[in-house]
Each structure stands twice: as structure tokens, then as C-alpha cells.
Amino acid sequence: MYSRVRGRAEEVPPVIDYAFDRINRFTPELFSLVARSYYQVNLIAGSFLQHAPPDTDFRNINALLTSYFQYTFSYWLSEKDPGEWFASEIPDTVPAEITDLFKPLSHVQIQNYQTHLQNIIKSHDNASPATLKALLGLPGYGNFVSVCRDLPEKIFHAIPDEKLKHHYKMIFLFHTMNIAGLSTIHEETLKEINRTIDWLIFHEDMQPVQLLIQKTFGILKESAGRFPDAVLKSVLNMGMGVYKTDESDLVHFFNEQVVRLGFQTPDFRGMSDDWQIQSNSAHIQNIQTWMGLIRLNPKWSKKLLSSLIIHLSLGGVLIKDTDLFPRDITAFLNSDIRPVYNLSKQLMRLFPAYFNEIGAEGLLRDISTEIDEICQRKDILIHFLRKQSHVESSNKIVPLIEAILDFWKTKSRERLKVYLPQNLYDQIEPEGPYIDGVHKVMNHIFKPGALAGLPTSCLLGLTTWRNSPGNFLKHTDRILKG
């Protein structure tokens, strides 16, 4: 910041000093977010000390840093002593080389830090740079997180026995996932758990592996809301290892855990103001993950396949052309689905996979463009439909078209609301040149007995209205081409 203001460096300290004071006055809930954030307070304070002018008053930054360390030490003392917890989790005596690894996190060491902090506060001028230098010698919140991040790997390398080192590493990885204050490393911890359990699946007996899988899924369930992408990747990678064992009982047990984990529904929430679909991005990944597991051995995956059908039937499906989902369908159909043929047919019927490439091409593009050009792109509703089919294609295009037809017939906008951005919805008028004509045509079509029993081909007879007054040609074409 000092380097950017150039000739106005004297304006910076009062602003930063004010910010330090405001942060220090935050509520406990807000202050905890600051203390745990990526931008650690002690690192910011160190940079401030390095660039501050000689006559700077360090009172506010020293007060903030004191509060930061008090929070840090109090929090880690509120958690179980990691070394003592680890010793209670393993049946044997903890080797000395592992005990030493836990010392930076021990309650005894943190209490020493607290004592040192109190001595600094009592013996130094709270406005001096010397106080700030002394405070910066203490470990910050991020230091404790770094120790916890590195500890599983250090435990792994400290044990010579191959099987034991994987077990010990897994024990502390599980412990990491149970500490809320380590949420910033939970995602990478999930990935490490997945890699470790993959090794254990091939080198442990069935019963210990089942217990590990069950415990892992318990952690995955708690993390699914925050890290759905990492959780689903872990499920797929773990499943690939389980299926490779060729143990049908283990596969069935694993699939039972997958089903209990739950399913990511589409959660369609409408359109954003930049015309993007708002939905659960993990939905399609969940489908792909389950289909990927099923095709490893369809015969052993009947429960998973049935559960997928149930979830999609009840919760719906949302597929965009950018998902390139037909590739997943092809891969699934190329697997050995003969033992589950009827279930596979039921699943395939649920997939509204209309597109085999990104962006509308061919007849779809020609017709949607022609409908938009009939009104010279001035009908904002049809223009939106055209752009959606060209750029943001999904199976929501079909209910959008149905909602437009309903709007043309009834002049009620209600069904359109969920499919349109709010700013566009507010511009749709139930009266005017872009609704009145098609409204008359639609009501004639749906007049009782007017078209009853006629085959679809007979609707082409509506083009006889081309010579009718009132510009019915334009409005009829809009309906027929739609």
C-alpha cells in the first residue's frame, strides 16, 4: 500500500490505524473469522512494522495483535490435547519420535505461550515498536493450522511398519476433520483420507476395511454440504478401489454407504440477471459418480442403480448441454448392463439428453432464429428463449416453452417467473403487440371443439389464416414454428 500511494504516504497510517481499532472492536463471532482467515493478523502486523514511519503510534496494532493471540491460544486450549488424544486412540505405547511431533500443539506448550504473552503486555510500552516485535515472536493461528496439516505425513514417515504407518496417519486425518478450527484444510484432508484408505483397502482384511469405510463415510456426510466436489471425488476413487478387490460383500457394503450418504438434487432456483441457470452444480457430478460406480460392475450395483432411479424420479434431473452428458450415457451403455437391463432402461428414460454438442445447431438454431426474427428481435421473451437454446441449453428449455405458450393463451405471467431473470420478468407485459395477436390465435386453437380429435398434421391448416386481417400471419407462424 505504501508503494502505491507514492507522494501521499503520510495519509496511510491513520487509515490503517483506524482499521486496526475497528477490527479489535468486532464481536467475538466476527473476530473469530478474522483470526482464522487466510490473511493472518500477525503477518499483516509484521508488514506494517516493516513499512511504518518512525513516529508511528503502535498502540492499536499492539492491542489487536494481543487480542488475536489471546483468541488463538484460548481456542487451541479448548480443543483436546492432540498428543493425549492420539495416545488414547491407539492400542500400543506412542513411540517417542511421534510424541515429539505433537509438542508444538500440546496444552503445556500453549500455556507457556500464554504466560509469555502476559509478560510482554506487562513489561512493554503498548505504543512502542518493541512491543510489536516481541508479540511477533509468538505463533499465530495459521502456525497451528500448518502444524496440523503437516502432522499426518510426519507421523507416516516416523513409523517403519508399512501397515501401521497408514493406520496412524488415518487416525490423525480423521481427528483433523473433527476440528472446526481446521476447516480451511478440511478439503485437502478429505483427499488425503481418500488416498490413504485406497492403500488400506488392498492391504487389510475385510472387517477392518469395512470399519474404515463406515467411519470415512460418516466424515464425508458431514462434509458433503461444504465440499460436495471433494466428497464425490472421494466416493468415486474409493469405490474404484473397492470394486477392484472383487469382493462382492465389500462392494455391497460400500454401495450401502454410498446410498446412505444422500443425493445432490438439482435445486433449480431460476435464472440470474446474467441469464445463467442457478442450480446445484454438484447434481450432475453426483449422477456421473453413481453411474461411474455402477458401470464398474452393474450386476453388483443393483441397489445403487435402483436408488439412482428413485432419486431422479422424485427430485428431477437438470442437464445442460455443456455437461456433455451423452458421453456418460454412452459409457454406461457400453458396460455389461445385461444383468440389469430393465433397470437400465428405466434410468435411460429419465435422462432428458437432447443435445450431442455444445450450442444449438442445425434445425434448432434455424427455427429459434426465425421465430425471433418474425418480430425483429423486439419480443424480449422470445429473444430470451432463442439465446437460452443457443448458449445455455438445458432440459429447462421445454418447460420454458410450455410456460410461454401458457402465457400466450392466458396472459398470466405466473408460470414464467421461475424461468426468467427478475429484471426480464418485470418487463413482460400482459398487453401489447407481442401478446395480443398470439393470444387470439391460441384461444381459437383451444376453443372447445375447434380442433378436437384432429391429428397434428391438420394444425398446418392454420396457415390458411395467412391472408386474414390483423397480421395473423405473423402470430400464427410464431405459434406453429414454436
Q: Which whole number is the average pLDDT over 400-419?
A: 91
Q: Which residues pair with 394 in a beta bridge?
A: 320
Residue 255 burial by Cβ neighbours in a 10 Å radius (0-12, 13-18, 19+)? buried
Contact 65, 84 (CB under 8 A): no
pLDDT of residue 37: 93
Residue 362 cell numbers, joined: 442445425
Q: Which whole number is the average pLDDT over 212-226?
A: 89
Read off the pLDDT of residues 340-386 as tens digits, 9 standing for 90 and up: 999 999 999 999 876 555 555 667 777 888 888 888 888 888 898 88
Q: Which whole number is the average pLDDT over 242-271?
A: 94
Q: Considering the chain, what is the average pLDDT of its residues?
A: 87
pLDDT of residue 393: 77
> What is the distance between the alpha carbons of residues 306 and 260, in angstroms, rounded to a whole number?
13
Q: Please state the domain extents for the chain.
A: 1-158, 363-481
pLDDT of residue 84: 93
Residue 4 burial by Cβ neighbours in a 10 Å radius (0-12, 13-18, 19+)? exposed
pLDDT interval class at 450 (50, 70, 90): low
Q: Which residues pair with 271 in a beta bridge?
A: 277
- Residue 418 above 80 pLDDT? yes
pLDDT interval class at 477 (50, 70, 90): low
Cα atoms in the 13 Å half-sphere on the side-chain side of 70 = 13
Residue 132 cell numbers, joined: 510489536
pLDDT of residue 355: 58
Read off the pLDDT of residues 75-129 as tens digits, 9 standing for 90 and up: 999 999 999 999 998 888 888 889 999 999 999 999 999 999 999 998 878 889 9
> What is the distance between the alpha carbons of residues 476 and 96, in angstroms, rounded to a whole number?
86
pLDDT of residue 125: 84
31-40, 248-257, 266-275, 287-296: the lowest-pLDDT one? 266-275
Task: Give the residue with greater pLDDT, 337 vs 52.
Answer: 337
Residue 258 cell numbers, joined: 454410498
Read off the pLDDT of residues 316-330 as tens digits, 9 standing for 90 and up: 999 888 788 889 999
Cell 469405490 sits at which residue?
Answer: 239
Task: Give the residue with greater pLDDT, 6 vs 63.
Answer: 63
pLDDT of residue 449: 62
pLDDT of residue 357: 58
DSSP string, 48-77: HHHHS-TT---HHHHHHHHHHHHHHHHHHH
- Residue 240 above 60 pLDDT? yes
Task: Give the residue with greater pLDDT, 470 vs 275.
Answer: 275
pLDDT of residue 379: 87
Read off the pLDDT of residues 118-177 as tens digits, 9 standing for 90 and up: 999 988 788 899 999 999 999 999 999 999 999 999 999 999 989 899 999 999 999 998
3-state per-residue secondary structure call for the chain: CHHHHHHHHHHHHHHHHHHHHHHHCCCHHHHHHHHHCCCCHHHHHHHHHHHCCCCCCCHHHHHHHHHHHHHHHHHHHHCCCHHHHHHHHCCCCCCHHHHHHHHHHCHHHHHHHHHHHHHHHHHCCCCCHHHHHHHCCCCCHHHHHHHHHHHHHHHHHHCCCHHHHHHHHHHHHHHHHCCHHHHHHHHHHHHHHHHHHHHHHHHCCHHHHHHHHHHHHHHHHHHCCCCHHHHHHHHHHHHHHHHHCCCHHHHHHHHHHHHHHCCCCCCCCCECCCCCECCCCHHHHHHHHHHHHHCCCHHHHHHHHHHHHHHHHHHCCCCEHHHCCHHHHHHHHCCCCHHHHHHHHHHHHCCCCCCCCCCCCCHHHHHHHHHHHHCCCCCHHHHHHHHHHHHCCECCHHHHHHHHHHHHHHCCCHHHHHHCCHHHHCCCCCCCCCCHHHHHHHHHHCCCCCCCCCCHHHHHHHHHHHHCCCCHHHHHHHHHHC
